[in-house]
Structure 1
Amino acid sequence: METSFLDFIIEHLGQFLQFTAFANLTVGHLIMIAVGLGFIYLAIAKEFEPMLLIPIGFGILVGNIAFSPGFKIGIYESGSVLNYLYFGVAQGVYPPLIFLGIGAMTDFSALISNPKLILIGAAAQFGIFGAYCIALALGFSPTEAGAIGIIGGADGPTAIFISSKLAPDLMGAIAISAYSYMALVPVIQPPIMRLLTTKKERVIRMKPPRAVSKKEKLIFAISGMLLTTFIVPSGLPLLGMLFFGNLLKESGVTKRLADTAKGPMIDIVTILLGLTVGASTQATTFLTIKSVGIFLLGAFSFVIATTAGVLFVKLINLFLKDGNKINPLIGNSGVSAVPDSARVSQVVGLEYDKTNYLLMHAMGPNVAGVIGSAIAAGILLSFLM
């Protein structure tokens, strides 16, 4: 009797232990947990994009608790709570809502007052198409290469949106890469900017942007949507929501809606998106040679984008008279990491001239980069879908 009871306890204890994460743990899970802890450390200790890296980092921890299948708890298990939340990522629902909030908090005045700055945002998109070509050369399929290339725009929501359409199986790696490089903007970009510019160029002073009227802002929101979506209809989910959010802000009569879009709504969506993207990095599906390759290609595309932006400013300065030249330190802000890349322009500029404030000038190409990355995504979708 006592022996059978003891056997019963041992048998069920052994069965219980088989279902714990300790029994199912692999080296891959430990690696990903370390990555998640690294994200959280960077967010808290270094304040690198904490609004993104804390949800993503914690999501990586959640996604790499090694469970036994069949309990409907994993993000890829149909019917699980995480799987329902992941629907917004997999079907591209969250990114347009993020763009709505971005539009509601963005002031396009710097771009409207100096329209040629949009060309810098366009030049930075070379990172996207450069990485696309390299990915093709390395053997990725055209759709995979298109999804990977978008990392060069430093636009997490756009990267998620396009990868959900073109390469769903690579979405976790692409999203993690995009958000990682967005967070590392203050680390990656300054050395490139210093390398490509001279001391004389770094202290160029630009004319103050002119005041932009409310009427101009309203016209820009409506005409911007019509023009960009007529050219690239496939970018409508992102571009339409971006300009709609901006119209809510600039109209002056929908303040509550604008405040909701740029406040509670974008915060909720960011939490859900970050957590589920992080949780999608289960070691069993995420930790592959392809994922490592995507991460390296993402870094390269980001370097190309920054380089293209700075060099393009140097090029157009050859055709501008003294007094109208553009400081090439704002060329980095053509990537759409708003407003971080614009802040980098400001910080690096102040190192060489404590009274030369570049932030407002840098915001022009920065917001142009948001539009540019969405257009580039639409172009890729149009010939790869």
Structure 2
Amino acid sequence: MWGVIVVLFYLGVAKQFEPLLLVPIAFGALLANLPTEGVLTAEMRPDGVYETATFKIDGKLEHYTAPTVEVAPDGTVTQTAPASGTVKVERVEGGLYDFISQGIKLELFPPIIFLGVGAMTDFGPLIAMPRTLLLGAAAQLGLFLTFMSATLSGLFTSKEAASIAIIGGADGPTSIFVSNKLAPHLLGAIAVAAYTYMSLVPLIQPPIMRLLTTQKERRIRMKSLRKVSKLEKLIFAVVVMIVCILLVPAASPLIGMLMLGNFLRECGVTERLVKSAQNEIINVVTIFLGTSVGLTMSGESFLSGQTIGIILLGVVAFCFSTAGGVIVAKLMNLVSRKTPINPLIGSAGVSAVPMAARVSQVEGQKYDPQNHLLMHAMGPNVAGVIGTAVAAGYFISTLGGG
């Protein structure tokens, strides 16, 4: 297990692959495999789920989940028991991360990160070229193909397969959100795979992009995007949030916080809140999220055949998602020959913002140094964020998570 940790540190520090997440995850994993005291006192249940926060009630130790804890105005801590109502708690026992990691178990950290993502993202390119929404949708191909493959293999349950499939969206917070609801015992492996593949976007995507396109297609120059007004951006955030939540209510935490962050960004009157969402809030949560995930990676739970299967299925999902966006872009060119799309921007339909869009830009300039695809690629890129969140909500609602 320490070898795995060294590899994660190497990727994060030496190679600078998604260091903001891989370094905290690696450090948390290191703590999980040391005989620490006062860090984590979790016990694994027979179903593989870790139970944390032990409450001492009337002199007897019993396990209850943290969401049922209540703190009265006078400071009295009470525990709502499933059968006997509210009982007084003498003492709450637990290590530091028994409580910090509740941010994952209570589904707080991923939506808060989406708040920061929304505050840092410009939806203008997508609004200026709405048809790129189809590229973001096409990039979800890998999710559903992987879900079916994992389910049919018989090695994973449908809930586990759905959690693994989200890796194909290259969206770490969404992967964590779904796996916490559907397959919490796989959280560490899924999170590591998701963030590793996010960091490897510049290595994984280019060969697929070149394989599926011709040199002529890679040189396609797209027209400059029109300027999008503030009002359009504000209406877009509200309308998309309403539509997505009405269609897939289970995606509400992710979509709601994403659009809240974007609305704060675009309204122009909440500069302090936007800066906090872009910096302090998302940075603090990223530290806690990464280390909390790493602490689930004890050798007993992480080093298994399932972990290898998750990593292999994750890269398959990611490759098919990339290919889906490129192929649909080529098909769109058959319909609209007057305003062709450079198929390279189709690969940006995955959720790795803005890394996937930058890959499209770099690949395009290899064949035409004067071709600028970055802003065009941001359209499918932000569409992919929305698409993956909606797909996650669909899996949760249909498979009964939460």
Separation of aligned partners in 2, 1:291 and 1:34 = 15
- Is 1:193 aligned to 2:209, yes or no? yes
Whole-angstrom distance in 2 between the partners of 1:182 and 1:221: 25
Amino acid at match of 2:292: T
* Equivalent AA in structure 1 for residue 282 of structure 2: I
Q: Is the contact between residue 75 and residue 86 of structure 1 (CA under 8 Å) also seen in structure 2? A: no
Equivalence for 1:103: 118
Amino acid paired to 1:273? L
Per the TM alignment, residue 134 of structure 1 is displaced from its structure 2 partner at its CA by 0.6
Which of 118, 131, 139 is residue 124 of structure 1 equivalent to?
139
Could you say which structure has the higher strand fraction? 2
* Pairs within 5 Å for 1:205-354: 205-322=221-338, 324-354=339-369
Q: Equivalents in 2 of 1:48, 1:73: separation in Å? A: 27
Q: Which residue of the partner structure matches residue 39 of structure 2?
A: 73
In 1, the alpha carbon distance for the partners of 2:193 and 2:168 equals 10
Question: How many angstroms apart in 1 are the aligned matches of 2:7 and 2:158?
Answer: 32
What residue identity is the alignment partner of 1:205?
Answer: R
Q: Among residues 30, 33, 37, which one is paired with 1:61 in the alignment? A: 30
Q: Which amino acid aligns with 2:39?
A: I
- 1:90 Cα deviation from its structure 2 partner: 2.3
Tell me which residue corresponds to 2:198.
182
Alpha-carbon distance in 2 for matches of 1:307, 1:75: 44
How far 1:110 sits from its partner (Å)?
A: 0.3
1:163-215 deviations in Å (ceiling 9; x for gaps)? 11111111111111111100111110011001111000000000111000011
3-state secondary structure, aligned to 1:47: coil
Structure 1 or 2: larger helix share?
1
TM-score between both structures, scaled by the size of structure 1: 0.89
Displacement of 1:158? 0.3
Give distance in 1, aligned partners of 2:385 and 2:193: 18
Q: CA deviation at 1:46?
A: 2.0
Question: How far does the alpha carbon of each residue in 1:42-100 deviate from its partner, in whole angstroms, 9 at most, with x for none?
Answer: 222222112122111222222222x28xx553363531112211111223210000000
Distance 1:220 1:261 in 2: 20
Q: Secondary structure at the match of 2:344?
A: helix
Asked if the contact 1:218–1:250 (Cα under 8 Å) also holds between the matched residues in 2, the reply is: yes
Q: Which moved more, 1:78-87 or 1:139-148?
A: 78-87
Match of 2:5? 36
User: Does the 8 A contact of 1:75 with 1:279 survive in 2?
Assistant: no
State how far apart, in whole Å, the 1-side matches of 2:176 and 2:211 are: 32
Report the Cα distance in structure 1 between the residues aligned to 2:293 and 2:243, rounded to whole angstroms: 32
Where do 1:7-46 residues align within 5 Å? 32-46=1-15
Counterpart for residue 387 of structure 2:
372
Q: Give how far 1:221 is off.
A: 1.0
Cα deviation code 1:114-156 (max 9, x no counterpart): 0000100000001111110011011111111111111111100
How much has 1:251 moved relative to structure 2?
0.8
Kindly indicate whether the alpha-carbon contact (under 8 Å) linking 1:91 and 1:164 is maintained by their aligned counterparts in 2.
no
Q: Which moved more, 1:200-209 or 1:36-45?
A: 36-45
Q: Percent of pairs identical after alignment?
A: 54
Alpha-carbon distance in structure 2 between the residues aligned to 1:347 and 1:36: 31
| Partner amino acid, structure 2, of 1:327 | N
> Which residue identity lines up with residue 139 of structure 2 in the other structure?
A
1:365, distance to aligned residue in structure 2 (A): 0.3
Does residue 1:52 correspond to 2:21, yes or no? yes
Deviations 1:219-241 (A, max 9, x none): 01111111111111110000000
Q: Name the CA distance, whole Å, in 2 between partners of 1:130 and 1:75.
A: 38
Letter of the 2:293 counterpart? V
Q: Is the 8 A contact 2:132 2:380 kept in 1?
A: yes
What RMSD in Å do the two structures reach over aligned CA positions? Answer: 1.2
**Is the CA contact (8 Å cut-off) linking 1:156 and 1:179 kept in structure 2?**
yes
CA contact (8 A) 1:101 1:261 kept: yes
Q: Which amino acid aligns with 1:209?
A: L
CA contact (8 A) 2:344 2:360 kept: yes
Partner residue, 2:168:
152
| 3-state SS of 1:318 partner | helix
* Residues 350 and 357, structure 1, Cα contact 8 Å, conserved in 2: yes
Q: Which residue identity lines up with residue 210 of structure 1 in the other structure?
A: R
Contiguous gaps of at least 5 residues in structure 2: 44-51, 53-93
Letter in 1 for 2:40: G
Query: What letter corresponds to residue 41 of structure 1 in structure 2?
Result: Y
- What secondary structure sits across from 2:297 in the alignment? coil
Unaligned runs of 5+ in 1: 1-31
Give the counterpart of 2:187 among 165, 171, 187: 171
Matched, 1:82 2:79: no
1:117–1:365 contact (8 Å) kept in structure 2: yes
| Matched residue type, 2:174 | T
Contact 1:75 1:280 in 2 (8 A): no
1:92 aligns with 2:107: yes
